[in-house]
Structure 1
Amino acid sequence: MSVDVDKDPGGAPGAADAAPALLELRDLHVFYGAIEALKGVSLSVAEGEVVALLGANGAGKSTTLKAASGMLAPRSGEVRLRGERVDGIKSHELVRFGIGHVPEGRRVFARMTVLDNLKMGAYRLKRPDEADLERVFSLFPVLAQRRKQVSGTLSGGEQQMLAIGRALMGKPELLLLDEPSMGLAPLIVRQIFEILREINEQGTTLLLVEQNASQALQLADRGYVLETGEVVMSDEASVLLSDPRVRAAYLGEVAEDDAPAG
């Protein structure tokens, strides 16, 4: 469903006005062959924020994260981290700049143990930091219990926890999360979002792509709405959560204009 609002180039009120931008995307244009997936996307994430990126399937949400983490090179536009241009730097090199990416579909190393998956997250370090490992086990106690278990035998929720924990082992300042609730039971989704809140409270900035708009906006400080590769709306999360157009498009409610007469 389309959210028919005036386009906003990416500036939104709220925390980003008061705090310096940790991440800035400026007029990003990204193509898959001849198909333009992002048509001038601009957004910012301030240090310490949680920012939600909403939109229908095919809106460009995952593409935006991939461009931010170096998995896709924009044809034009800029990616800036703390003011420094990082577009063109490969994703495995961007890890040392403090960016972690939890991809859609979890993508754990299925034949490796939980512990070895976590160690892979710290590959840029000479050796895994035991304090980082203990932090992950504190956030996800089930991973500590299953540290010797082959990752492909974990449940979907446990694999999602492992994917997040693996990214945390790289000591990210900014964590990009792509659909962390996908395919999970409601109880597990609530657990995941409670842990994401704790991760943010511990000092990690979050940029979150999520189909579960209600959960995402309850966690986030601000949000952006993408439609066919363009930012069409941006505001504080509480404002977006109460906006009838957003509620109709992403929360399954009927907008007043669409409600049947009588």
Structure 2
Amino acid sequence: MSTTTELQKDAGTAGTSEETLLELKSMRVFYGAIEAIKGIDLTVRKGEIVALLGGNGAGKTTTLRTVSGMLQPRHGEVLLRGERIDGIKSHELVRFGIGHVPEGRRVFSTMTVRENLEMGAYRFSSVDMAEMDRVFTLFPRLAERRSQQAGTLSGGEQQMLAIGRALMGKPELLLLDEPSMGLAPLIVQQIFEIIEEINKQGTTVLLVEQNATQALGLANRGYVLETGEVAMSGPATDLLADNRIRAAYLGEGAA
């Protein structure tokens, strides 16, 4: 069993507050008899970007799917603004201010870019055109392709569309699962710049990402999962400098 190592208490970062937005308490999640998440504790403060790192099978995607209501914890609690949300169905959690961009993008391939974005606003009685304009400002490529079927977009454009679709629901907390997966380095850089801008505009982000350098370079704090447990946590700068992280994720030998 891994022991949680808190590198140091984060003194706070510009643009964030001490208000806790999301909190996981002793959360345990099972697939049948298999325990995928083994009692983790995790906190995301309002205004932060928090990175969730770990190898394949560590439990990162399971964590996001549980926060967004796609899975239910068998034990523990999921709290949003201090209120328990575990047990609430995923389509209802959108109304609580949670947006989820799943791994693999999953756009509606036969629908146009504009129609995909409109689907993201289903929690409202009508589409907020100002919000759509905001998405098109963040993603000019989508504006150029608004009448194009989503299935004909490049991988990077589909990732932009998946993020834009989530933003149409006006989330306070945005869950991003592997946004850089399968994308060219230049596109990855663009995606991370957009995530940073989304955060600056007031959206809190919980980011699952294999690219530790990119993720920790963007995040305020990070957690490292190993086989369903929190192995390390702390300010992103400290995690990035830690020899164990560098050896595990950056291909460098520990000193």
Match of 1:259 in 2: none
Shift, 1:14, TM fit: 3.9
Match of residue 75 from structure 2: 76
Is residue 2:4 matched to residue 1:7?
yes
CA distance in 2 between partners of 1:33 and 1:11 (Å): 36
* Pairwise CA distance, 1:15: 3.0
Please give the per-residue CA displacement for 1:227-262, whole angstroms capped at 9, x wherever unaligned: 000001000000000001000001111112xxxxxx
Given the superposition, is the C-alpha separation of residues 241 and 178 from structure 1 closer, same or farther in structure 2, using an over 3 Å criterion?
A: same
- CA distance in structure 1 between the aligned counterparts of 2:2 and 2:39, rounded to whole angstroms: 17
* Structure 1, unaligned runs of 5 or more: 257-262
TM-score norm. by structure 2 comes to 0.96
SS across alignment from 1:58: coil
The percentage of counterpart residues that share the same residue type is 70
- Unpaired stretches in structure 2, ≥5 consecutive residues: none
Aligned to 1:191: 190
Distance 1:170 1:182, change over 3 A: same
Partners of 1:130 and 1:30 in 2: CA distance: 39
Query: Which residue is 2:208 aligned to?
Result: 209
1:224-239 aligned at under 5 Å gives the runs: 224-239=223-238
Q: Is 2:140 the partner of 1:145?
A: no
AA aligned opposite 1:193: F
CA distance in 2, matches of 1:151, 1:12: 43
Instruction: Give the letter for the 1:94 counterpart.
Output: L
1:97 deviation in Å? Answer: 0.5
Whether contact under 8 Å (2:212, 2:250) holds in the other structure is yes
Amino acid at match of 1:174: L
The residue number in structure 2 matching 1:176 is 175
Structure-1-length-normalised TM-score = 0.93
Per-residue Cα deviation, 1:208-237 (whole angstroms, up to 9, x for no partner): 000000000000000000000000100000
Task: Give me the CA root mean square deviation.
Answer: 1.7
Q: Distance in 2 between matches of 1:14 and 1:89?
A: 33
Contact 1:208 1:216 in 2 (8 A): yes
Paired letter, 2:112? T
Indicate conservation of the 8 Å contact 1:11/1:43, yes or no. Answer: no
